[in-house]
Each structure stands twice: as C-alpha cells, then as structure tokens.
Structure 1
Amino acid sequence: MRFISLPDNPMPEGLEARTVTAGDGVRLRAALVRPAGQPRGTVALLQGRAETIEKYYEVIGELVARGFVVAALDWRGQGGSDRGLANPLKGHVDDFADYDRDLAAFTASLLRAETPEPRFALAHSTGALILLRALRGRDTPFSRTVLTAPLIGLGSMNPPGWFVDGLSGLLTAAGLGDFYPPGASLVRVEERSFEGNPLTGDARRFSRMLAIVRDRPDLAIGPPTIGWLHAACAAMREASRPGFAAAIATPVLAVSAGADRVVKPVATERLIRRIRLGRQVVIRGARHEILMERDDIRSAFWAAFDAFIPGA
C-alpha cells in the first residue's frame, strides 16, 4: 500500500499512509496530510471510479495550502486497496452498499479519530454518489460538501441508461456479473490517447495520469464489470427518487462539467433542485474530470469552492 512520487507528480510533503478496514474485512488504502500551523478544518477527498490517491496529489497540495487537513481514500477494488476478483483489473462491486461500508469505516477510524472539525467533503463522480447516499443519515460528519461531475445519470458517450440498467440486470441475474460488458474496450490505461478523450482538455495532466499507472501498473483497473454497472444503475435509480434528496439536510454544491460525456449534468440539476440546501455551478467547456482540467477551468472550480467552504 505504498505511495509513489514522480517528477511531474511529487508526493505531498508529510503524507502519512493509513490502512482502513471495512466492516466486511476489506483493507483500504488511505492517506492523511496536515498543514503547517493550526488547521482550518478537514477535507475528505473521495475519488471516482478507477482513480488513485496519487492522481490527486496536486489537489491535496492545494487544499493543504488553504489550511486544511486532507484525508483521502482508495475505494475497494481500485488503487492500493484490496481487489475483490481473481482478475485485479476488473473494477467490481456487487452493490453500492459495499462502498457504503468503505465510507463508514473511513469516517469512523480516520476522520472522527484523527481529524479536526469542521469537516468537509470533496467528492468526484462515483465518489459523489457514494457520499450523497451517506448524507441521508443523521450522523454525517460533514458540515458542507462539494461534488464534481456526480454520477447521477450516464452521459452521451454511453448507451442509454435504461438500456444499460436493463441489460446489466438480466446478465447479472444470469450469473455473468463478474464478466466485462459486451463491447467493453480493453485498451490498457497507459496506452490511451489524449486526442478525443472524455476526461480532460489538459494534455500535461492527462499524461500525468498515464505516468502513474506506467510506474505502478498494480494501481490500474480496466472497465467496470456487468455487476458493477448493475449496482451503479440501481444506485442512480435510487438517487432519482424524490425521497432521496429530501433526506439530505447538509449543504451541497455540485460543480458540473459543461462538456461532460461521461455523466449527465441535467440529471445532477434535477437532483440538486430537490436538495433543500443544494446549488449547482456549471463550468462551460470542462470535461468530466474538472480537477484534472486546464488551469482556467480549475481556477473557476476553486473560486466556487472557496466561496462555498467556510475558512477557505
């Protein structure tokens, strides 16, 4: 569960490795970074599917520079955390309740035990959906939360959501949940091209993502399994019900990417309208990974973050 440091992606100074054990025994890789001097609070950094803590070194540094303690986590099945299948490249969970266990353990054994209040969360894509599920409870540790490109609906690069939901459900029921979906691209992450990618318009940051998995192939995963898609569709379907948003009392800022093809910003808009203390900002021209985007797009994000998070 060691961390790597590369010339264009140096490890944040003072990063401390942690191991969190979920309620079902899965070991999760986590990290803690403290600022110099008295902290202004804590930001929990919750990544998207197929990401790693290393990918967020720049973001961690920017949060620490703002005076926050940062706690970060690799979800089960990716990064340096335990993999659930014999083929470690398959990104898989049977149910998003598995991720709920990860977040509960991370909250109990790291956030509440080692970090100061007030506590905030910054969550991307799949991580944002997992966080929203947790915000329905009364015992949330977070005063405010910021979501980037939350996974609420599938974007235009994917087949229609109703089709993915129905087909993945049928194939999972047939015992094929651990298989890749029909037509899934098995191109290795480090071999992907910048041209036409749906993630970022910044070539340097795109190359940095690839450099991480070239140096540590064990951190990479491939496409989601059929079972993962079925679980994600079930979680998105649940999030679309009016009662889901009505149960969230924590202030939520959703920052959507105007050029997102991975998720559907209009689905985020519908959800945010139902959250009593929710608001949405759309950054024009941004692709899915807003925090890995061009400097002008990232500056727009940080302006929204700083206006929303007290103490920043």
Structure 2
Amino acid sequence: SGRRGTVCVFSGRGECIEKYFETVRDLRDRGFAVAMIDWRGQGHSARALRDFRKGYVRSFSEFEIDVEAFVQQIVLPDCPPPYFALAHSMGGAVMLRVAHAGKRWFDRMVLSAPMVDLPGSRTSFAARALLRVMRLTGQGGNYVPGGGASLVGTAPFNGNQLTSDALRYARNAALYQEDPTLGIASPTVAWADTAFAAMHGFRAPDYPARIRQPILMMAAGNDTVVSTAAIEEFAYHLRGGAHLVIPGAHHEILQEQDRFRGQFWAAFDAFVPGTAAFT
C-alpha cells in the first residue's frame, strides 16, 4: 500500500529475477511497487528443451505472449497503477515490439542498452542466412557456431563484456554457482535466428516513427554486446522518445559501478513521474 505505481522489470537474455534484487530495492526506495517475471526458457521458468542450459524460442512473439500474460494475470489485478516498464537488452527489444504493436499497458518505458542491433557485421545478411539454413536443416536446438555450454556470466571477471564492477560481477556469478538451473549458456540457433529477424525489423525506416509510447533509451558508451550507434539512431526517430549515452559504462548498466548507475537513476528519476524528482 502507499506505492506511487508499479515498475515492471524485464531482464535480458540469460538473466534471472534474483540478479535484480538490488534494482528492485532501488525502485522500492523510490516509492514504487515492483513486478517481475523470468522469461520462458531462462531463470526458473520452464525450458522448451531437455537441456536447461539451452534458452530456446520459436519466435520473439512468444516473449510478447509472456508480457501479455504477465500484465493481464498479475499486474492489472494485483499491482497499484500507474504502470511503467524497465527493460534491459533483449527485454528492451521485446518492449519495443510491444510498443510498436500498439499495446499501451505502460505509461512510460525505460530501456537499458536495448538490443536494437549488434555491433559490426554480426547481423549481416550472411550471418542471418547461415542461421536460417541451420534452422531449416533441423539444427535449431544446437548452440550457435562457436557457442558452448558454459553459463552466461560465470566466466572470469577479466575480459568480461558485461560490467566493470568486479564486486557486482562476482555477486551475480555466485547466483549461478549456487543454483546452476537459474542460468543459460550460449544462444541456440533458433533463438539467434528469431532475434536476428527482430533486429532486422527494427531497421525499417518507419519502425520507430510508428511507436507512440514515451520511451527513454539509455545506452552504454563501452558496450560491445549491443550496438550503441544503432540505439542512438533508433531513438533519434522516435516521436515520443529520448536517449542518453552513459560514457564508460559496459553493457549491463544496472550492474555497473555506482558512478554509472547514478547517471542511469538520475535520468530515470527525471523521466518517470512519481520518483523523487517529481515530489
């Protein structure tokens, strides 16, 4: 009771609810209730394949079904309005698709390093064609070429692409060491194929212009997981959007050092009504 609304948190690929306990606390400290799910195929949600390390979906539209079920069965009946969305990476890509489809469950969305595109030529026509051929030949449940069974976020800290904060990285890695069933490994061919199709769709010249949802997109200046340039370009064409690049931050801004997280939360507070900046 007495909350200023509800923030629904949507994680990135390979993440779980437990990884966001600090973020939940930060939101509760701002006066919000918080609701969160594990996407199908990760965390403690059901897996489509027998091997729990393989996150698998047939289409990104399945994630949109997850969002609708979550909103209709949990958020609207049980959580105080107004409703806001906070999404990271893959979750950001899903929320862009939700907004593009005209779903207006959320008053505003804040997207952290949304997966609009990947750096370099990783989503080139040749890469997309290879994945499609592999999937059509029955290899959708295999790891992508070069991938393997090591859980995301459990490699040594040095050289990781996720965060420059060693303490938070170790904290998150400890989650998967304590309960490996929370994690997933490299992408499967099917996941990558549908993810690449979604990112290719974002390239349509009129895609961002068709979104009427107020959106704040925040990118990491040292991101090597998703393309910061693509985020900036997409945000530039949003009718009701804004964007901010946080210099020096790695991909997982919410798992970063406090000097980067502070910039994120300052922008969040200025954008989302009901936070300290509006009281």
Kindly tell me the number of residue pairs found equivalent between the two proteins.
275
TM-aligned CA distance change 1:190 to 1:146, over 3 Å:
closer
Question: Which amino acid is 1:128 matched to?
Answer: G
Q: Does 1:239 align with 2:202?
A: yes
Secondary structure of the corresponding residue to residue 58 of structure 1: helix
TM-superposition CA deviations, 1:107-162 (whole Å, max 9, x none): 11111111122111000000001011111234411111100000011125x83543
CA distance, structure 2, for counterparts of residue 187 and residue 79 of structure 1: 15
Matching of residues 272-291 of structure 1 within 5 Å: 272-291=235-254
Gaps of 5+ in 2: none
2:110 equivalent among 120, 125, 146:
146
Question: Shift of residue 164 of structure 1?
Answer: 2.6
What is the aligned counterpart of 1:181 among 117, 121, 144?
A: 144
- Residue matched to 1:155: 119
In structure 1, stretches of 5+ residues that fail to align are: 1-36
2:165 corresponds in structure 1 to: 202
SS of residue matched to 1:85 = coil
Deviation of residue 245 (structure 1)? 1.4
1:104 aligns with 2:68: yes
Amino acid at match of 1:253: L
1:190: how far off? 6.7
1:256 match? 219
Contact in 2 for aligned 1:164/1:229 (Cα 8 Å): no
Asked if the contact 1:161–1:233 (Cα under 8 Å) also holds between the matched residues in 2, the reply is no
Corresponding residue number in structure 1 for 2:37:
73
For residue 105 of structure 2, what is the amino acid of its counterpart? P
In structure 2, the residue corresponding to 1:101 is in which secondary structure?
helix
Question: 1:16-95 alignment to 2 at 5 Å?
Answer: 37-95=1-59
Q: 1:310 matched to which residue of 2?
A: 273
Return the alpha-carbon distance in structure 1 between the equivalents of residues 205 and 153 of structure 2. Answer: 41
Larger strand proportion of the pair: 1
- From the superposition, tell whether residues 184 and 143 of structure 1 become closer, same or farther in structure 2 (CA, over 3 Å): same
Please tell me whether the aligned partners of residues 168 and 255 of structure 2 are also in contact (alpha carbons under 8 angstroms).
Answer: yes
Instruction: Please give the secondary structure, in 2, of the residue aligned with 1:87.
Output: coil
Aligned residues: CA RMSD: 1.4
Q: Distance in 2 between matches of 1:307 and 1:197?
A: 31
Provide the C-alpha distance between the structure 1 equivalents of 2:154 and 2:10, rounded to a whole number of angstroms: 26
User: How far apart, in 2, do the equivalents of 1:208 and 1:235 lie?
Assistant: 32
Is the partner of 1:122 in helix, strand or coil?
Answer: strand
Decide which of 111, 122, 126 is 2:90's aligned counterpart.
126
Which letter does structure 1 place at the counterpart of 2:18? E
Q: Offset at 1:174?
A: 1.4
Does 1 or 2 have the higher relative contact order (CA < 8 Å, sep 6+)?
Answer: 2
Identity of aligned residues (%): 41
TM-score by length of 1: 0.85
Contact 1:154–1:161, Cα closer than 8 Å, also in 2: no
Residue 188 of structure 1 and its aligned partner are, at CA, apart by: 4.1
In 1, Cα distance between equivalents of 2:146 and 2:18: 29
> Could you state the TM-score of these two structures normalised by the residue count of structure 2?
0.95
